[in-house]
Amino acid sequence: MCTSYYIKYTCQCKEMEFVQCEERQGTNVRCTPVTKRHRKDAQNFCESHLVYSNTPRTYITEPKPQDAEQ
Ligand SMILES: [Zn+2]
Ligand SMILES: [Zn+2]
């Protein structure tokens, strides 16, 4: 069974890594359904949520207190 591994970033984005199963390697065939597996929790934002160091504005998502009003 082909497996889609996901990495979860602190910005809540997920990045997928698709791993084809051995018997289908070298073909363009994949299994259905694809198994989804959690690979790891990244300790940082994903690439698209990170800003360059010369960007004047940075944004940081602060963790919301549990009792914050919606
Ligand atoms: Zn497969
Ligand atoms: Zn992100």
8 C-alpha vs ligand 2 centroid, how far in Å?
9
Burial letters 37-63, b for 16+ CB under 10 A, else e: eebeeeeebbeeeeeeeeeeeeeeeee
Q: Would you kindly state where each structural domain of the chain is located, as residue ranges?
A: 3-43
Summarised one tens digit per residue, pLDDT across range 3-60 is 999 999 999 999 999 999 999 999 999 999 999 999 999 999 999 999 888 866 666 6
Summarised one tens digit per residue, pLDDT across range 30-45 is 999 999 999 999 999 9
What ligand is nearest to the CA atom of residue 48? 2
What ligand is nearest to the CA atom of residue 49? 2
10, 47 Cβ separation under 8 angstroms:
no
- pLDDT at 69 exceeding the cut of 80: no
Residue 41, beta-bridge partner list:
8
| pTM > 0.75: yes or no | no
